[in-house]
Structure formats: structure tokens, C-alpha cells
């Protein structure tokens, strides 16, 4: 399949044409009209190389429903990114005390546990080998959600674009070079089995535009538990 994309920035519109392969001759025009900083009308027009009315109606409905779904997903992604970026702008200064999570046996019943440390969201969970780990729940790529990602063989896959992360270290597991927010360390007292969460003092996550980077930070956690975020549509 050969596609051509033409962008008319001056008129806020673009056209995707299928030049060869399945659907050759199809044109999809997307027209945008801004009504303010938070509001845009999106009109999508489909031009299909098909003359039979019944076939055209069926194809048209397929295009319409798939594009409606894609635009809804895009909107959910953009709203999440905007909310996270706004939160970053108002983030408060970090405090310093470790967080006591109680006895290990009681904590296990609450896992996986979502928790905010210094206003950065983390998830605490138990891996297959019994290790307790915390990991950042915001993908550093485009700030996708990781709080419901199921770890497989110690790796988390972002539901938005499929990037992989090592749940123990937060490092990229697919060679893309991204890294999750430095997670607090989970410490289990060998004598009392009391669990504490200790913030890492060496670095923090910063968001720049649509991405996130790790940089030096001041030490200390400030925390609150929270409920899971709703699934994006």
C-alpha cells in the first residue's frame, strides 16, 4: 500500500490519499476548526472509489465508526497529557519522611496499591517471585497510563504504543531508551515484617512537552493513596 499525506496548515486541514494497494483511490480529508484553546471541531470526509450504493453505505459506516473511535481515543490521550502537564506545573516541594505501609501480611491483601509520592503516581505490587516493587504509572513516552498494565516476566507494556519497561528498575526493556519515574524503594524489616516506602533521593521525573525526563531532585516523599484511574475509551 502506498499512502500520501498532504498537509494544508494555513487552512487547518490535511488529506490522506491511498495511491496504490488496497483501497487505491480513497481520499480522507480532515478539516479542523478551532473555537478556543480547549475546543476544536473536527470534520472528516471520506471519498471512496466505489459506485454501488449498498457497498458504499457499508464502507462509509465502517470508516465513520473507526474514525470516531480513533478520535475519541486521541481526545482521551490528549486530555490525560494536558492534566498531567498541568499537575506538573503546580507540583509542590517534596518532604522527607519514609512512608509506613504496615505489616507485610496486611499489605499483601491491598495489592496492587496505587499511591502518590511527591505527587508522582506509583503502583506497588508483588511479582511472581514474591518481590515487592513500586513502579511509576506514567509512561515517559507520551504520558500513557501504566496503572492497569499487567507485568509479564517482570516487564510492563504501555497500552498506548506498546513500549516496554522493566518493572523492577523502571528502565526501558525494548531499547528505546525511556525510563519510568524513579520509584521509591520498598523496604521490609526482617524482624518485624513492617514495610516502608523510601523515596529515592537522587533523581526525579520532569515533563517537557509530551515527554518525560529524569533529572536530579531534592529528597523526600510526600504521599497519598488514590483510586485507579478510569480506563481510557
Residues that bind ligand FES (CB under 6 A): 139, 141-142, 144, 158, 160-161, 163
CB of 179 to ligand FES, least distance (A): 12
CB of 210 to ligand FES, least distance (A): 9
Closer residue to ligand FES (CB): 132 or 166: 166
Closer residue to ligand FES (CB): 34 or 79: 79
DSSP secondary structure string for all residues of 167-194: TTT-BBSSSS--BPPPPPEEEE-TTT-E
The three cell numbers of residue 88 are 506538573
Closer residue to ligand FES (CB): 180 or 186: 180
Q: Tell me, what DSSP letter sits at residue 12?
A: T
Nearest to 232 by CA among 123, 76, 71, 81: 76
| E strands, 37-130, in order | 39-47, 99-103, 113-117, 120-126
CB of 174 to ligand FES, least distance (A): 10
CB of 81 to ligand FES, least distance (A): 9
Closer residue to ligand FES (CB): 141 or 223: 141
CA atoms within 13 A on the CB side of 221: 23
Amino acid at each position: 500500500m502506498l499512502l500520501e499525506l498532504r498537509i494544508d496548515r494555513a487552512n487547518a486541514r490535511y488529506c490522506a490519499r491511498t495511491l496504490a494497494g488496497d483501497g487505491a483511490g480513497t481520499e480522507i480529508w480532515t478539516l479542523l476548526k478551532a473555537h478556543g484553546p480547549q475546543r476544536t471541531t473536527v470534520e472528516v470526509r471520506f471519498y471512496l472509489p466505489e459506485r454501488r450504493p449498498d457497498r458504499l453505505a457499508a464502507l462509509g459506516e465502517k470508516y465513520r465508526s473507526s474514525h470516531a473511535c480513533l478520535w475519541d481515543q486521541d481526545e482521551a490521550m490528549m486530555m490525560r497529557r494536558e492534566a498531567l502537564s498541568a499537575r506538573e506545573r503546580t507540583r509542590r516541594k517534596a518532604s522527607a519522611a519514609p512512608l509506613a505501609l504496615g505489616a507485610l501480611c496486611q499489605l499483601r491483601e491491598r495489592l496492587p496499591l496505587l499511591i502518590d509520592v511527591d505527587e508522582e503516581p506509583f503502583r506497588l505490587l508483588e511479582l511472581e517471585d514474591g518481590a515487592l516493587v513500586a513502579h511509576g504509572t506514567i509512561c515517559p513516552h507520551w504520558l500513557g497510563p501504566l496503572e492497569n498494565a499487567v507485568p509479564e516476566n517482570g516487564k510492563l507494556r504501555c497500552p498506548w504504543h506498546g513500549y516496554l519497561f522493566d518493572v523492577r528498575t523502571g528502565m526501558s526493556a525494548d531499547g528505546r531508551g525511556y525510563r519510568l519515574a524513579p520509584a521509591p524503594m520498598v523496604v521490609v524489616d526482617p524482624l518485624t515484617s513492617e514495610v516502608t516506602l523510601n523515596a529515592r533521593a537522587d533523581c526525579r521525573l520532569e515533563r517537557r512537552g509530551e515527554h518525560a525526563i529524569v533529572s536530579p531532585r531534592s529528597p523526600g516523599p510526600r504521599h497519598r493513596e488514590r483510586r485507579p484511574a478510569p480506563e481510557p475509551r
